[in-house]
Amino acid sequence: MGSESRKLSTFLPHPYGIEVGNPKEIPADYEERWSLNVHAIDTRGAENKLGCIECHCHLYNITKDRFGRPLTDDYKGGLQCCYDKTKCRVNVGDGEYFQERNLFVRYRVKWVDWNDLVIPVKVYLFDVTDTWKPLSDSTEASQQRNCLIEYDVEAESCSHTNKVDDDKCNAVKKSKVMFPSSGYLIYGVAHQHIGATGATFYGEDGRVLCSSSPIHGKGNEEGYVVGMTTCYPQPGSMKINKGEMVTFVSNYSSTPTHRGVMGIFHIFVADKIFKSSSALSEEVGNNNTIVM
């Protein structure tokens, strides 16, 4: 999740939940903890705000990754160029922007004490850069996951196949994967960056399992992705079968070029559905909330 989390619906309807804290699921010698990994980029006084947000390497004057390994010549922007303590190029003379400031993150955690009435969901993350190929391919290497996480969207001339309107083109990236187990889709949402025009998750027969579109900000947030639309299908209406070949499509505007973008789809799947939840909330237990 990214900056779109602020205007993103993340609740799960009763009686579904993500199980945490089960001692049987925690490997020996490990401890389960909450953590928050924050990647914040200060764009005050930036020479090129979009370039800073997309981590263009030349704007950060970076030629090596955070481990000191040289970057390849074709790596122009992305996470490897804006790791901790790196700084993006600013306009000379904008000294008022360089003052240190404190930032805070607040988030809510809701939970119920686990019991037999709670139906657990499995969390699946699909990366559009995954180069996985079907098992029918004979080479062992092609059967392994290779998620690159980020990719570039190159500016291209418009044609009838990718033209959206008079001055915009659409860049489409797809990936396919064989679903590992049967279940019912309970929740879905995509994660995308600036320039995104939406993402869709398809079943093998072409049916739309979930579509998620960016919500763009206004005012001083204009151009930024501040939210993503979500999917809450009627429980039981969207079943994915074990072995089904599902397709993930990520769309971006290719005018202009975008660096280090992402196309990730999160879905929550339940093995079974609860057909009547009218009195369930009382039996499951009271919702507890922590604001942090």
Query: Residue 93's beta-bridge partner residues?
Result: none
What is the pTM assigned to this prediction? 0.82
Residue 150 has pLDDT above 90, yes or no: yes
Q: What is the b/e burial string over 149-176, where b = at least 16 CB atoms within 10 angstroms of the residue's CB?
A: ebbbbeeeebeeeeeeeeeebbbebebe
49-63, 261-275, 276-290: lowest mean pLDDT where?
A: 276-290
Q: Kindly state the average pLDDT of the residues 263-274.
A: 93
Q: What are the C-alpha distances in Å from 147 to residues 37, 73, 151, 233?
A: 20, 20, 10, 28
- If you count them, how many residues does the chain have? 292
pLDDT value, residue 289: 41
CA–CA separation, 82 and 59 (whole Å): 10
Tens digits of per-residue pLDDT, 16-30? 999 988 888 889 999
Q: pLDDT, tens digit, for every residue of 56-81?
A: 999 999 999 999 999 999 999 999 99
CB atoms within 10 A of CB 268: 21
Helix and strand numbers (H, E) in the chain are: 3, 16
Predicted confidence at residue 75, as pLDDT, reads 94
- List, in order, residues 6 or more apart from 40 with CB less than 8 Å away: 103
Task: Using the predicted structure, report yes or no on whether residue 278 has a pLDDT greater than 50.
Answer: no
Task: Check whether 280 has a pLDDT greater than 70.
Answer: no
Alpha-carbon distance values, 104 to 10, 38, 46 (Å): 20, 10, 21
**Torsion-angle region of residue 93: left (phi > 0), alpha (psi -120 to 50) or beta?**
left
Q: Which two tokens stand for residue 78?
A: 């992305």
Give the count of beta carbons closer than 10 Å to the beta carbon of residue 110: 12
CA 258 – CA 54 distance, rounded (Å): 7
Amino acid at 114: W
Q: Which residue has the tokens 């955690």?
A: 109
Within the chain, what is the greatest distance between any pair of CA atoms? 64
Least confident of 75-79, 144-148, 176-180: 144-148
Closest by CA position to 78, among listed 257, 279, 268, 281: 257
| Segment (H or E) for 281 | helix 280-284
Any idea what DSSP says for residue 165? E
* Cα–Cα dist 157/175, whole Å: 24
Alpha helices of 10-132 — where are they, by DSSP H? 49-53, 57-60
Of 43-47, 75-79, 128-132, 278-282, which one has max mean pLDDT? Answer: 75-79
pLDDT in tens, 39-55: 889 888 899 999 999 99
33 touches 39 (CB < 8 A): no
User: Does a cis peptide bond (omega within 30 degrees of 0) precede residue 15?
Assistant: yes
Distance CA 55, CA 119 (A): 41
* Confidence label for 286 from pLDDT (cuts 50, 70 and 90): very low
Confidence band, pLDDT 50/70/90 cuts, at residue 185: very high
Query: How many angstroms separate the CA atoms of 147 and 144, rounded?
Result: 10
The one-letter code for the residue type at 174 is: K
Residue 123 has pLDDT above 80, yes or no: yes
